[in-house]
Chain A
Amino acid sequence: MTTTVTSPAPASGAAETKSAAGRAPLRRGLLRWLFVAPALAYMALFFGYPLVRNIVMSFQHYTPKTYFTGEAPFNGLDNWRAVFANELFTDALWHTALFTVGSLLGQFTLGLALAVFFSRRFRLSGFVRAILLLPWLVPMVVSAVVWRRILDQDHGMLNTALHAVGLAPQDGVPWLSSPGVALLSAILVNIWIGIPFNMVILYGGLQEIPRDLYEAASLDGSGPWRTFRSITLPMLRPVITVVLVLGFMSTVKILDLILALTSGGPADSTQTLGTVTYQLSFLQLDFGQGAVVGNVLILISAVFAVLYLRANRADFGKGK
């Protein structure tokens, strides 16, 4: 992301030097471009090329045969039509939206609460904070498998615990076996996984806020809520945007968690764009249609990346 922001700057510099006479400035311009070149080449190779390939692929009849013959005839909008006519795609789009919004909301709120909590130092706070990092360190598939056991309707730990305190219905909550509940369960698990990331970054941001601001606030007689709203939140804004954008990017393309937790079921109730792409590309081997869903995902991510960049620009504008 940073490379795209910085690259226009040398470009405009080069334009200025070109207007100036003499060879030395010209060489300097060339030199500037040489510094940019590795980054540009890297971007073109590792981001540009796959992106363009994926877009082209979505307009092709791209099947296993293509790998053997190299032939991928263009089929216009066929792939796009097929995908958009597929009920599963619309469902998955909706599930992805719910999953992303739900996960981000939960992860962020709880992460922020914990970060604020831990920013006051107390005994063992470092130790407890380290423990809270665990979900982040465990591979996602492993946590999903563990959660599958915890959420089992008959013998799962969660239902047993709820029974013990008399909160669960007679035959237990069908966490993963009912289409009405499974998506919520997946969101809850993902929140659990995402809290440490949010907490760590936000905690770091909190440490950056100068202490004297809080002192000044307390001298002015502001209470804890007012301090949080008028000092902590605004000072934390850049960090918050980063956390949310990164969280969004990793949540919207969710695949492994869902595959390990529910395989998209029951009755397709946890199908997301990620699982649909996986199904199309790797099980049905229809790479063209898989690419269409992939492109939709890229488009959604791109929209948010642009929003993020604009938000950042606004920040800089205000500061200077």
Chain B
Amino acid sequence: MPFLAGRIRTRRGRVPALAATLACALVAPGLTGCAAEPDPGTVTVLNSATDTAEHTANQRFFDRCGKPLGLKVEQISVPADQIASKALRMASSDSLTDILELDGSELPQFAQTEGLRPLDDVGVDTSGLSASAKSLGSYDGTQYGIARSVNSLALIYNTKLLKDAGVTPPTTWKELRAAAKKLTAGDNYGMAFSASPNADGVYQFLPFFWSAGGDEARIDNGKGEAALQLWKDLVADGSASRSVVNWNQQDVNDQFVAGRAAMMINGPWQVPVLSAQKKVDWAVASIPVPEAGKPAVPPIGGTVMAVPKNDEDPAREKNAGKVLNCLNSEKNQLQWGESVNNVPTRATAAQAYAKQNPKLAAFAELVTTARSRTAKVGTGWPVVGDALAGAFQSVLTGRTSPEQALHRAQQQASAGK
């Protein structure tokens, strides 16, 4: 699932859903849930696979895993940005599904409610997962969610434009700035990234912020300024559009595909769009780092599957656990990863993936050092993310200096706790 890519497209359908819940709450207060008691032979899943192709692909894997166990898996799909509220409404009427698939950054808020079952308790094997994938699904040291595949961010570049300009893909910030400047000509920018004031922009800011030594738990530790300065310089040089403050990750991809940006920061969920067009030849490189030799620290993204507690019927939890184990077998992870262009989370599957998809190998590499947004601040992430968004927006629009911006961001983050 692209990281929150479907935010705008998917606003429809909220009203009927709301109306149904409202009717539910009014007609049946006190009853245990409005949904009919589910059939014991089924496992229900709440996910965001509203797209037909994605829904069908999911169902194929669910069927493959359910059949040998004698289980039927049913998906309930709502748009990605409504998963959390839908799940909460279901929880309040005791009708939560057996498996809950949500964005990794939302997991802590659900884990904190104590409404999720630790995966160990239902026999889900998480031992072979990469460390970064484990941190994406854990809260307070306990594994609550498991990701089949994960994504991250990399530098995607227009091979022809770089070749024509005699530029090799930049590996350091200095090179990035120089390359972006050189690649800027006429109407076209050398670099594109998303600095929108929502989750998209924050996700894109993190690889720079973290690689510079920035710390989301102590935003004003004096290191994140460099990342803000880099973004500011790119825009001030004219190497990136001033509209980056409005662009979400989809817009950035649109610019790249239109040939208006020679390089962009983006994730593997754009691969289907990139592959479907013929206009631009592209390749993926690792994300540039502040100084040569330093490791890149990009964010890790993707959805995790969790098992809500079901005290009345523990057998359902066990069934859900079995399905999760099967979905996360090496073979299934690899196939799933390939179908959604994300990197499998089992280290062995990830290696096979990198070998079979050399074009996306950079992502497989980046994912191993990637960091989870919620590993340090847990449930505080939404407030911290907002504070960071405020910081880069005010710096890019020239309202404050990087130092002031991060100082203020830290104040906002502490006030929001």
Contacts and interface: CB of A to CB of B under 8 A. Distances in A.
A51 to B, nearest CB: 14
A174 B242 contact: yes
Interface string B235-268: 0000001111110100000000000100000000
A266 B382 CA distance: 18
Given A64-B110, A154-B241, A283-B382, A267 B26 contact: no
A61 interface: no
Contacts of B399: 179, 267
Interface in B133-157: none
Range of interface residues on chain A? 35 or more
Q: SS class of chain B's interface: helix, strand, loop or mixed? A: helix
B44 interface: no
Contact of A67 (B81, B92, B260, B396): B92
Interface in B95-129: 109-110, 112-115
Contacts of B11: 141, 256
A36 B415 CA distance: 49
B243 A268 contact: no
Nearest to A289: B416
Given A45-B26, A153-B241, A263-B197, A65 B114 contact: yes
B276 interface: no
A41 B187 CA distance: 62
A282 B393 contact: no
Interface in A139-191: 139, 141, 145, 148, 152-155, 174, 176-179
B402 interface: no
A2 B302 CA distance: 50
A69 interface: yes
Contacts of A63: 113
Given A155-B260, A263-B198, A285 B109 contact: yes
Contacts of B415: 82, 85-86
Contacts of A153: 241-243
Contacts of A133: none
Nearest to B242: A177
Interface string B6-17: 001001100000
B89 A67 contact: yes
A262 interface: yes
Contacts of A64: 84, 88, 109-110, 112-113
Contacts of B187: 154-155
Interface centre among A145, A256, A260, A265 (most CB of B within 10 A): A265
B243 A154 contact: yes
Contacts of B382: 283-285
B84 A285 contact: yes
Contact of A266 (B260, B386, B393): B393
Given A67-B113, A69-B113, A176 B386 contact: no
Given A67-B113, A268-B390, A284-B383, A145 B8 contact: yes
A68 B115 contact: yes
A177 B84 contact: no
Contact of A267 (B84, B386, B397): B397
A237 B109 CA distance: 52
A70 interface: yes
Contacts of A262: 197, 246
Interface string B386-417: 10011001101101000000000000000110
Most-contacted residue by chain A among B12, B26, B112, B246 (CB, 10 A): B246
A17 interface: no
B85 interface: yes
The 10 closest A-B CB pairs, nearest first, are A265-B197, A68-B115, A266-B245, A67-B88, A65-B113, A67-B92, A284-B382, A267-B393, A267-B394, A68-B113
20 contacts: A64-B84, A65-B112, A67-B89, A67-B92, A69-B114, A139-B12, A178-B397, A179-B397, A179-B399, A262-B246, A265-B246, A265-B389, A265-B393, A266-B397, A267-B393, A267-B394, A268-B197, A282-B84, A284-B383, A285-B382
Interface of A: 45, 63-70, 82, 85-86, 139, 141, 145, 148, 152-155, 174, 176-179, 256, 259-260, 262-268, 279, 282-285
Given A64-B109, A266-B396, A267-B399, 12 more contacts: A64-B110, A67-B92, A68-B91, A68-B115, A70-B92, A153-B241, A154-B187, A154-B260, A260-B8, A262-B246, A263-B196, A263-B248
